[in-house]
Structure formats: C-alpha cells, structure tokens
Amino acid sequence: MRRITFDIETKNFFQDVGSNDPTDLDISVVCIHDSLDDQYKSFLEQDFNKLWSILEQADLLITWNGDHFDIPLLNKYYPGDLSQIKSLDLMKEVQKVLGRRLKLDSVGEATLGINKSGSGIDAVEWWKTGEIEKLIKYCIDNVKLTKDLYGYAMLNSRLKYKELGNLKEIRLNTTEWETPVSTMMTYTLPF
C-alpha cells in the first residue's frame, strides 16, 4: 500500500482573506512523506505538477485535519478531485471517539513525547520574510509527526492526550484504515 502523508502551509491567514473557507487561502508549500521510497519531499507552487502524479498513485492520503483543510485547499490547485483518493484524517478519527478535536501538538506530545517545531503563524511569517528553508523544515516536521502518530496508532490502536494534567488514551479502530479502495486517477498522468 502506497501511503502519502502530507501537510500544507499557507501564505496568508483567514483574517487576510476575510473568510473561514480554507479554499480562499493560498498555499506556500506542500510537504509529503512517500512510503514507496521512504522520502520526505517539499513542493512550492511552481513544483505542483511533480506532486500530482505522486498523489494520483497513492492508495491512502494521511493528514491531520486534511479532510477539512488540506485536501479542499490543495484541490483548488489540482486539475482533478483529490477527494476521490482514500484519505485518513487522524484528527477526524480522534474526534469520532472523543467528540471534539485535538491539536496535533498535544497528541504528539502525549503519545510520542514530540512537540511541533513551530506554528502556523510562524509558517506564514517565514513565507512573508522569505525564510523558505525554515518553512519547509517546519512543514516536514509536521509530516513526520503525523506519520509517526499514524504508525503508533496502527501498532497500538490508540493515541494519547493530556486532560487536566492526566494522560488519557483514545482507542481507535484501525482495522479498515489500510483497506484498499479501487480508484483510477489519470488527470495528469500520460496515457
């Protein structure tokens, strides 16, 4: 199974565009981990044409808040419909169990002892000040954290979080996470 774990950073904030719709934002960078070659890669907007064929060949897209944010925003740039590829939004899986959303940072810290290396605010500022390498490193760190949480959940059928200083477990049903779905995507691949 080819799994693509990815994260997106933006050039702007919701208040900049006067909307809460992710598709009104602009992407600064997309970073991925490709299970096929176990590599991390980054794509600025001018490189998106190289990203499309990778995503189209994925069996599973793995994100944190991707179903609500990353996939709809990336679809704004993509010539097809990325929602046709099976996705697993870890935040959504947590929300199904807890009834509320948790931040990647808090679940990463409680489960793996790893915090995010920055924030979305930092990412937009790095874009605006031309600190592209810092931006890419931060985005890749988020991808690594998401990938590692996915791996932990697959092995242990749970993730962890803290509530009022107490460590709690989120039991997850991972049995269907890697069940293949038949999709044929050839929007940007040559015939």
The pLDDT tens digits for 12-59 are: 999 999 999 999 999 999 999 999 999 999 999 999 999 999 999 999
Residue 188's pLDDT is what? 54
**Measuring CA to CA, which residue among 166, 162, 68, 172 is closest to residue 115?**
162
Instruction: Dump pLDDT digits (tens) for 123-136.
Output: 999 999 999 999 99
Nearest CA among 79, 70, 93 for reference residue 150: 93
> Token pair for residue 130?
């031309």
Q: What is the pLDDT of residue 23?
A: 94
Residues 152-185 have pLDDT tens digits of: 999 999 999 999 989 999 999 999 999 987 655 5
Structure tokens at 180: 């293949």
Q: How many CB atoms lie within 10 A of CB 135?
A: 26
- The predicted-structure confidence for 52-95, as pLDDT tens digits, reads as follows 999 999 999 999 999 999 999 999 999 999 999 999 999 999 99
CA distance 131 to 151: 31
- In the chain, the domains with their CATH numbers are 3-171 (3.30.420.10)
Band the pLDDT of 122: cuts 50, 70, 90. Answer: very high
Q: Per residue, what are the HEC states of 23-64? A: HHCCEEEEEEEECCCCEEEEECHHHHHHHHHHHHCCCEEEEC
| DSSP for 122-167, written as a single string | HHHHHHHTT-HHHHHHHHHHHHHHHHHHHHHHHHHSEEEEEETTEE
Question: pTM for the full model?
Answer: 0.92
Token couple for 94: 């947590």
